[in-house]
Chain A
Amino acid sequence: MTQRLPLIIFALVMAVIPLVPGIPPFWIVLLDNIGLAALVAMGLVLLTGVGGLTSFGQAAFCGFGAYTTAVLTTAYGVSPWLTLPASLLVSGIAAVLLGIVTVRLSGHYLPLGTIAWGIGLFYLFSKLEFLGRNDGISGIPPLSVGSFKMLSPDAIYYAIWVAVLLSALLTMNLLDSRTGRAIRALRRGHVAAEAFGVQTPRAKLLVFIYAAVLAGLSGWLYAHFQRAANPTPFGAQAGIEYLFIAVVGGAGYVWGGVLGAGIVVILKEVLQSYLPYIFGGQSQLETIVFGIMLVLLLQLAPQGVWPWLMSRLPFKPARKTPDTSVNLEHRERAPGTSPILLHIDRARKQFGGVLAVNDVSFDVNAGEIVALIGPNGAGKSTTFNLITGVLTATSGKISVLGNEVANAPPQEVVKLGVSRTFQHVKLVPDMTVLENVAIGTHLRGNSGAISSMLRLDRADEARLLAEAARQIARVGLSDQIDQLAGSLSLGQQRIVEIARALCVDPMLLLLDEPAAGLRHMEKQRLAALLRQLRDGGMSVLLVEHDMGFVMDLADRIVVLDFGTKIAEGTPAAIKRNPDVIKAYLGAAA
């Protein structure tokens, strides 16, 4: 309940404001505009700040929402409340269509794409006959409840702010869930998330649609607030302004969107009333100040105002500790047709003219620790990437318990019970250790976005978090459970990755240089943990350069050199193998 308290206080304050005697009506209009902008900005927070997908085209989705209700209410006489689902649906469908082509784009192509369709749609709005061309559509009926018509700014005020608060609540619920963690992992690239079964294209499309629906809601409210719709507020300039709002407030924070909307709308008002005195009676002068401010902000406070405010609070919001007594059922094992856990048969990977892995074959049996060693550039990590489906093999067969992997995507490989860590740590630095590790449980939960928003996922969520907390305790990081992953030492981050991999409930654990960056005692603890896992029936395949660590731990060692397997055997045999000695120390040895 303590977490909801600030929200309740905020809601009460907002509810009382219009009732304060003597409050200028103009302030209420400003607050209405802030609420409308906050809705769009909140979507952008999720899309850009959290999901890492920058969009300059959100204003167009407001347009879809506004024009849908405008056409339906004026031309067909549909009641405004009935057009709400229609508006949301139209924005959502537009987002699906644009999203399918847009979210696939990588890096900077995505924002450029949004600028392009943002402008294209603006021209479409202003040219279509049934949308009233440049003049738009006027005479839209007001919202009404019974015989009460929301004609005045302070009547629709409540509709707008109820929408803002509900959206904020739903958005925060969404972020604090299984789906939310998948979304938050997107910004750091897709390889790590996909290794734990996250369908990243679907997650991207989901936030894209969510942001568009919020924009559509804002557009619908706008149309009934202004009682008219014309193309200007849905153009490229407005799209840029919404992004500006999110950046000002703090693009990574739901309340950053609301705060940013407040700052920008009020600033715009102030600038519009005073700037003409400085420059003479021109319009649009506030854009100069906005532009300069945006550049300054990126240089001085790229995180935005909200996190700056939060860091100044005298108290820190408490985190809840998961109840580890809840059990998470084991993952269902895929039925096997072979006793060999991992069978690699002449796997080959060619990058252009470079042969990274040259017909390598070896097996990993159940309950066995196998080490893959070799000098730098021997093809160890590439072999890992072939097994986990990050790279597709040029030829050869890889099968898990007889089920051929056959170039399946990482999301399918992990379902076979193969989980991994990365040579270059891939955690989300601004998520806590618990949240990072919980990404590993992704496939063991089943709550979707909507049940998360409505908090119907709590039982499922509690089981996932409990499992994450148990695995964190297992690797000995319970004291760091609430710290941000980015604040841990590199060695500890590697251990966090192991906990995340364990959350998959794997049969085979692939560890890429797990001991790098660990201190002596930590290495011993890691070795003890891996032995304990093996004795519990799990198999481990690890790449490692620390020979002392490998020789003590591994049951069997496979040696690669220049992509080719040169030896395989027990540690004792490998130590005496002349080919291995030659590969490591040169011919003369």
Chain B
Amino acid sequence: MNTTIMLFLLQDGITNGAIYALLGLALVLVFAVTRVILIPQGEFVTYGALSYAMLATGQVPGTARLAVAMGLVAFALDLFFARNALHARLVIHSVALNIAFPVALLGLIYALVGPGTPIAVNIALALLIVAAIGLFLYRIAFQPIAHTSVLVLLIASVGCHLALQGLGLVFFGAEGLRAPALSNAAVTAGPLRFTGQSLAVYGLTIGFIVALWLFFGYTKTGKALRATAVNRLGARLVGIRTTLSGQIAFLLASVIGAISGILIVPITTLYYDTGFLIGLKGFIAAIIGGLVSYPLTAVAAIVVGIVEAFSSFYASNFKEVIVFTLILPVLVLRSLAAPEVEEEKD
């Protein structure tokens, strides 16, 4: 093997790894706050990427309409659960968040969409769409069962993944899409060429890691979010609004997912079901990080990316096999290192 190939593979691995790291971070974030293992994270990626790609071609993506529909359901749920204690403030708040916001967004998209729309506007619109979907997803699927076991939440999470992936097929079709590059800038260092795209990936990843680490370690809100995960009832008793915590976590996760998607879609063609695999690789990183550690997750994600790059060069047929079996020794080590603790299950 020569050094140039190795450097190329490393660069490729690190760029992919940085994306996995972003996703892994979002998964750790959601798990730490809500105990939901967010399998639909991959759908946030594809929804963000493909919504952006469709907007770039001047079309209105179906996801915008999905956001409106989900908002309606969320509104109905709000009314239903508060049916015995309805008051005007609650209704106004619910209407604003669940109906006015997605409808206004849809209107904005119809007004702005076109072949000449600036890239930044398209990105912002795509992020808003996915943010709305993430928010409503928590409200609809997880908030009513937020108190149940990790396992029930996981099965619900798989259900969400199935539904969202199927809807992705309806919205974007079976053909893959690609979007215009975010910037054409590039830096050359030796034999390697760093595109503005990949530099943005690195920058965002590092930024998010630092921000999340600071947020959860050093701010009151961050600590409140963590407390929610450990003991919902206890958190509520000391005045933490657990529902809000869950919504914030899903909002952040969906935006992070969408950003990752928008960063990749100019580099590779994405299909409606690509997100699942990308998300799962983020998972491997998150699991290596024990679903708690942000820096460890990021490092693990880079390793996953590099392993993937090298195995696609040496044994391209078995790339996925190698990446997914990577997780097994890690899981075994984890369970050996931390012996099983008795948990009260229901």
Contact = CB atoms under 8 A, between A and B. Distances in A.
B321 A189 contact: no
Interface residues of A, number: 49
A291 B165 CA distance: 9
Given A54-B154, A112-B37, A302-B152, A240 B162 contact: yes
Contact of B335 (A54, A104, A117): A104
Interface in B304-346: 317-318, 320-321, 324-325, 327-329, 331-332, 334-336, 340-345
B152 A127 contact: no
B155 interface: yes
B156 A294 contact: yes
B321 A106 contact: no
A279 B170 contact: yes
B166 A189 contact: no
Interface string A90-129: 0000000000011011111101110111011001100100
Interface stretch (A7-15, A167-175, A281-289, A550-558): A281-289
Interface in A274-314: 279, 282, 284-295, 298-299, 302
Nearest to A124: B321
A243 interface: yes
A292 B159 contact: yes
B162 A298 contact: no
Contacts of A424: 344
Interface in B130-168: 140-141, 144-145, 148, 150-152, 154-156, 158-167
A455 interface: no
Contact of B342 (A108, A127, A191, A243): A191
Contacts of B169: 282, 284-285
**Central interface residue in A54, A286, A298, by most chain B CB within 10 Å:** A298
**Central interface residue in A119, A187, A240, A279, by most chain B CB within 10 Å:** A119
**Central interface residue in A54, A247, A291, A293, by most chain B CB within 10 Å:** A291
B334 A109 contact: yes
A123 B326 CA distance: 14
Nearest to B173: A282
A291 B328 contact: no
Contacts of A291: 158-166
B253 interface: no
Nearest to A236: B276
Contact of B162 (A116, A279, A287): A287
A188 interface: yes
Contacts of B156: 294-295, 298
Task: Determine the main DSSP class of B at the interface with A.
Answer: helix
B271 interface: no
A121 B193 CA distance: 36
B73 to A, nearest CB: 10
A295 B159 contact: yes
A56 interface: yes
Contacts of A282: 169-170, 174
B47 interface: no
B340 to A, nearest CB: 4
Contacts of A106: 335, 340-341
Contacts of B161: 291
B159 to A, nearest CB: 3
A275 to B, nearest CB: 10
A56 B158 contact: yes
A227 interface: no
Interface stretch (B92-100, B206-214, B216-224, B279-287): B279-287
B151 A54 contact: yes
Contact of A127 (B165, B291, B317): B317
B154 A111 contact: yes
A299 B284 CA distance: 28
A136 interface: no
A291 B155 CA distance: 10
Nearest to B315: A127
Contact of A188 (B280, B318, B331, B345): B345
A188 B346 CA distance: 8
Nearest to B37: A108
A190 interface: yes
Contacts of A190: 340, 342
B287 A112 contact: yes
Contacts of A240: 158, 162
A389 interface: no
Given A116-B327, A127-B321, A109 B287 contact: yes
Contacts of A293: 159
A120 B320 contact: yes
A52 interface: yes
A285 B144 CA distance: 26
A116 B162 CA distance: 17
A357 to B, nearest CB: 19
A243 B156 CA distance: 11
B80 to A, nearest CB: 12
A413 to B, nearest CB: 16
Contacts of A285: 166, 169-170
Interface of A: 52, 54, 56, 101-102, 104-109, 111-113, 115-117, 119-120, 123-124, 127, 187-191, 240, 243-244, 247, 279, 282, 284-295, 298-299, 302, 424
Interface of B: 37, 140-141, 144-145, 148, 150-152, 154-156, 158-167, 169-170, 174, 277, 280, 283-284, 287, 291, 317-318, 320-321, 324-325, 327-329, 331-332, 334-336, 340-345
Given A115-B283, A116-B284, 8 more contacts: A101-B329, A116-B280, A190-B342, A288-B163, A290-B162, A291-B158, A295-B140, A295-B159
- Interface pairs A-B: 6 shortest CB-CB: A291-B163, A294-B159, A291-B162, A288-B166, A120-B324, A287-B166
17 contacts: A52-B345, A106-B335, A107-B150, A108-B37, A108-B154, A112-B287, A112-B331, A116-B284, A119-B280, A120-B324, A287-B166, A288-B163, A288-B167, A288-B170, A294-B158, A298-B155, A299-B144
